[in-house]
Amino acid sequence: MNTKLFSEVDNYISNLLAVEDEILKSILASINENGIPSISITPSQGKFLQVLMAACNAKNVLELGTLGGYSTIWMARALPNNGKIITVDNNAKHTELARQNIAYAKLTSKVEFRTGKALDILHSMVNEKKEPFDFIFIDADKPPYTEYFQCALKLSRSGTIIVCDNVIREGGILDENSEDENVKGVQRFNKYLSENSNVAATIIQSVGAKGFDGMAVAVVR
């Protein structure tokens, strides 16, 4: 695989259409400096989320997996003035750094942080009959992706777009005997997605700055 060429083309796309400003660059640096894993989305993926948000006129967004708030910032920047994003993470250290980063990006008024297990928070939102989200980005731990998606559907309306990161795992999903819990989680999810007639869905595989992976995109019917 010509990974160098893929990275160069990803940079070409980013430099044209998904330019990182000083704020986004310094937030990536803060994630590094704090010893937090460098697994944020790439600029071109951030732009992809923004384009999908524009397609569904997203005002209310839910994110599972905040990390340092990098993807949160891409999405918050695509919100209208009265828009809101709720972002969930079970690691208080990650939420704290993200809170600082979102403040630095002057987006505090648009972002609500929830610290806790994604499944617990999803269940409480379902129980309190929260109004449906327009756009949902699932990017927390991979083994319960199917359950996250099932809850996301309960928090959706017709037209809601749900995006799930990391569903290809360098092609690891092709190995039917994989013992990797992350691979098994997304294999189970991808199968579930293929059998769910309540959504129009596909998977976009991606190569570039972050290696080989893919995002599932589903539109609720």
Report the alpha-carbon distance of residue 143 to residue 180 in Å, rounded: 10
Report the alpha-carbon distance of residue 73 to residue 61 in Å, rounded: 12
Q: Which tokens sit at 108?
A: 């505090």
Q: With left for phi above 0 and alpha for psi between -120 and 50, is residue 84 left, alpha or beta? A: beta
81 vs 88 by CB, closer to ligand SAH = 88
Using CB under 6 A, which of 14, 30, 40, 50 touches ligand SAH? Answer: 40
Size of the site for ligand DHB (CB under 6 A): 4
90 vs 187 by CB, closer to ligand SAH = 90
Q: Which of residues 77-96 bind ligand SAH (CB under 6 A)?
A: 88-91, 94
Using CB under 6 A, which of 10, 134, 139, 213 touches ligand SAH? Answer: 139
Angle at 61 between CA 26 and CA 75, to 5 degrees: 25
Q: Which tokens sit at 100?
A: 């600082």
67 vs 220 by CB, closer to ligand DHB = 67
The Cβ of residue 54 has, within 10 Å, a number of other Cβ atoms equal to 10
What is the gyration radius of the CA atoms in the chain, in angstroms? 17
* 118 makes contact with ligand SAH (CB under 6 A): yes
Closest approach of Cβ 194 to ligand SAH, in Å?
Answer: 24
**Residue ranges that bind ligand SAH, judged by CB under 6 A:** 39-41, 65-67, 70-71, 88-91, 94, 117-118, 139-141
What residues make contact with ligand DHB under the rule CB under 6 A? Answer: 39, 139, 165-166
